[in-house]
């Protein structure tokens, strides 16, 4: 499965993306040919344990965020990326 397929399959769901040493979490809003757009985005300052239900420190970005597929180092649906959402991204 390529990155586009991964994000398309999870459209509308929360996801966490590691990009240039920083973690971002948000709802997959749109998937382009070379990028993904996250809505309700948070910058994760410190994750804490990866299996925690909440990141240790994070800041709301207040905007949608576009991430280039080429910049993605790692992505997944870790427990803390669901903070404040259910599986489908509803609050």
Please give the residue that has the higher pLDDT: either 90 or 42.
42
44 in a domain, yes or no? yes
65 in a domain, yes or no? yes
88 in a domain, yes or no? no
| Residue 28 domain boundaries | 3-82
CATH code: domain of residue 21: 2.30.30.100
Question: Considering the chain, what is the average pLDDT of its residues?
Answer: 93
Split into its structural domains, the chain has a count of 1
pLDDT tens figures, 8-19: 999 999 999 999
The pTM of this model reads 0.90
89 in a domain, yes or no? no
Residue with tokens 């240039």: 20
15 in a domain, yes or no? yes
90 in a domain, yes or no? no
90 close to 82: Cβ distance less than 8 angstroms = no
13 in a domain, yes or no? yes
């Amino acid at each position: 499965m390529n990155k586009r397929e991964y994000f398309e399959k999870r459209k509308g769901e929360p996801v966490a993306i590691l990009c240039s040493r920083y973690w971002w979490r948000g709802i997959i809003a749109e998937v382009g040919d070379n990028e993904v757009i996250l809505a309700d985005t948070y910058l994760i300052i410190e994750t804490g344990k990866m299996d925690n239900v909440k990141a240790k420190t994070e800041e709301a970005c207040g905007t949608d965020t576009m991430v280039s597929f080429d910049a993605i180092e790692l992505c997944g649906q870790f427990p803390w990326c669901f903070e404040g959402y259910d599986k489908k991204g509803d609050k």
